[in-house]
Amino acid sequence: MLTKKQTQVLDFIKLYMAKHSYAPSLDEIKKKFKLASVSTAHYYISKLQDAGFLNKEHNQPRAVSTIKAKQTVEIPILGAITAGQPIEAIEIPDETITITRDEIGKQGKHYALRVQGSSMIDEGIFDGDIVVIRKQEVAENGQTVVAVIDDNQATLKKLYRENGKFRLQPANPTLFPIYRDEVEVRGVVVKIIRNLESQLDQGQSRDEKYVRKIDYSWDYRGEKTKSHTHGIHTYPEMFIPQVGRRLLETYSKEGDTICDIFCGSGSALVESRLIGRNAYGIDLNPLAIFLAKAKTTPINPQKLTKEYLALLNRVGKIKDNEIKQPDFKNIDFWFKDKVIVKLAKLKKAIHEIKDEAIQNFLMVAFSETVRYSSNTKTGEFKLVRVKGDKLEKHDPDVIGIFRKHAEKNIAGMTDFYKDAKKDSWTKIIYGDSSKDNGIKANSIDCIITSPPYGDSRTTVAYGQFSRLSAQWIDVFDDPNDASGVDNDLLGGRATKDLAHRLSSDYLKESLEKIAKQDEARAKDVLSFNLGLNECLKQAHRILKPKKYFCLVVGNRLVKQVRIPTDFIIAELAEKIGFTCEDIIVRNIPGKRMPIKNSPTNIVGALEETMNKESIVVLRKN
Ligand SMILES: C[S@@+](CC[C@H](N)C(=O)[O-])C[C@H]1O[C@@H](n2cnc3c(N)ncnc32)[C@H](O)[C@@H]1O
């Protein structure tokens, strides 16, 4: 499959050849597409050759002069198909792919679908691949088909006829087949396109100034991510510890002082402590600061366990008239009366603990208990209340939930206490990373961070996610302020207009495309990038010369425009005084973030965000 730009170059070559009977020179291609150099034109030619769109002719002084373009065909992509649970079959042609005729044969009509899910992995069909389907209504036993079952539900499976029934067989040993009396076949798979860059390529029509290296050794699929104190509390978009550690080990050394300028719950800081780096963490969400402190403060597990057992003993004895119920807006909407009383008793018992570190640590388990015993749907980042029957039956065992979390957390702390390097330190700063937070200029050996994917309103609402916990654990002066955090985070306040001086062509191009469809969304995106640019400047200020700054970022989709945040950062950073040394692409196997979200808050109006991220490696000049 070709990128938009590659298709444009191919079309140009074909047209040129039709007109002149010979191919354009590299220089003509360079001029036509305003490419930076002839070598970039050559890059496109070799890409087209590698993909089989142009014949390879060796030993020619001008490779392009001998090109004979192969016959190509444009195929509509009709949407997504699950290689997992069936989804409603809706065919909306949105874009096309161009492939050579040879690849699919001359017969039949074709269409393409994007694959979601992992049920066909043993057939080599992975999440994110594109499958080309030949339209047909019958299939032979064992063929991989687009099958529509029940009420217009489509899925990708291998089809078998057995005892008068159909078996739809997943190619994944962990999944069960689906049996039906009737199956409508809408075509068979004739080609699988493993385009690892497909998501990142969308909307990228400029000459690629930077190169993304796909390196799935950074995925850490299936690896344990909750060791030590990593798993003590959920937080959106947490670093996979292995990624944090590998970056730290590659770009810093023992005894160095590192900084995570968007530290969130502190995953990178935990790893720093485990491998002997001193660390600063900065975040603007009070809940994040609270969690990061608890995760990085080693506590003697014996003392902790003793206090925990005493607490369990105390809590049962607290009388209803001894508690003070918190007072925040809509508390009755989010919690049942009985739950409020139990939580209030638990909170009182935790507050009686004298040792501040132990009190905070047990408050973390309490915070999780607040979320799990509230009337909210679990697994959502935004606050969504359960409804009807489910709400009626909702009768959480508050103390049971607390015990489960506290005991798991104590086990995590036991490991952290044992493995954390005693002579390294962690300092956590509540602050805005786009401003000077008091860290000395040229003092940091390495910055490792993962900024938010975009503004809080349309990606992860950190404030909203944190609100119920924060209201119970007193991390805000006024508990009713909790959601207000979202306005202060990057991109929290849209700009008045779209005028700006940021020096990034990639950003300019994305903003233009988004603004054509929705100016307000373009202003959100601009605001986010203006804030990010200020953060890059501060990072440049605190970092020592020649040292590294690694950012794990997502290229999100807004209004169907893929924003190349990795390239935008590279462009902005180079203006500030960094050199972009690497952009590595990795899959996000287990990161807690919405793969689909609805910025409009209309049920069903889903906008895909992303399942890959880029690690941008910058070096201060
Ligand atoms: C992707 S999360 C970081 C998650 C973190 N890596 C972890 O493992 O938990 C991004 C964080 O940036 C914070 N943030 C957003 N804007 C900020 C700003 N201007 N200054 C400091 N932190 C900010 C958010 O509160 C959020 O915690």
Q: What is the pLDDT of residues 182-197, one digit of tens each?
A: 888 989 988 887 654 4
Question: What's the pTM?
Answer: 0.70
For a pocket test of ligand 1, which of 284, 483, 487 has the largest count of ligand atoms closer than 8 A to its C-beta?
284
| Structure letter (DSSP) for residue 69 | B
Q: Is 288 in the pocket of ligand 1 (CB under 6 A)?
A: yes
The residue whose C-alpha atom lies closest to atom 3 belonging to ligand 1 is 264
Contact 219, 364 (CB under 8 A): no
pLDDT of 575? 96
pLDDT above 90: residue 586? no
| Coil, strand or helix at 184 | strand
User: Which amino acid is located at 9 in the chain?
Assistant: V
Range with top average pLDDT, 204-218, 490-504, 536-550, 557-571: 536-550
pLDDT category of residue 350 using cuts at 50, 70 and 90: very high
Residue (of 391, 298, 402) closest to 345 by Cα position: 402
Quote the ligand 1 centre to 283 CA distance (angstroms): 6
pLDDT average, residue stretch 352-360 = 97
C-alpha to C-alpha distance for 140 and 411, rounded to whole angstroms: 54
Question: Rg of the chain's alpha carbons, rounded to an integer?
Answer: 27
157 is catalytic: yes
Residue (of 501, 523, 494, 496) closest to 510 by Cα position: 523
The residue whose C-alpha atom lies closest to atom 4 belonging to ligand 1 is 264
C-alpha to C-alpha distance for 279 and 444, rounded to whole angstroms: 9
119 is catalytic: yes
Residue (of 138, 26, 7) closest to 75 by Cα position: 7
Q: Is 450 in the pocket of ligand 1 (CB under 6 A)?
A: yes
pLDDT category of residue 599 using cuts at 50, 70 and 90: very low
pLDDT average, residue stretch 231-256 = 93
pLDDT of 277? 97
Beta-bridge partner residues of 553: 614
Quote the ligand 1 centre to 335 CA distance (angstroms): 28
For a pocket test of ligand 1, which of 262, 433, 449, 524 has the largest count of ligand atoms closer than 8 A to its C-beta?
262
Choosing from 119, 252, 367, 527, which is the catalytic residue? 119
pLDDT of 124? 73
C-alpha to C-alpha distance for 207 and 6, rounded to whole angstroms: 10
pLDDT of 609? 42
Average pLDDT, the chain: 84
C-alpha to C-alpha distance for 309 and 71, rounded to whole angstroms: 75
User: Which amino acid is located at 211 in the chain?
Assistant: V
| Structure letter (DSSP) for residue 261 | T
Q: Is 402 in the pocket of ligand 1 (CB under 6 A)?
A: no
431 or 177: which leads in pLDDT: 431
Label the pairing between strands 257-260 and 278-283: parallel
Quote the ligand 1 centre to 433 CA distance (angstroms): 9
pLDDT of 59? 36
pLDDT category of residue 470 using cuts at 50, 70 and 90: confident
pLDDT category of residue 262 using cuts at 50, 70 and 90: very high
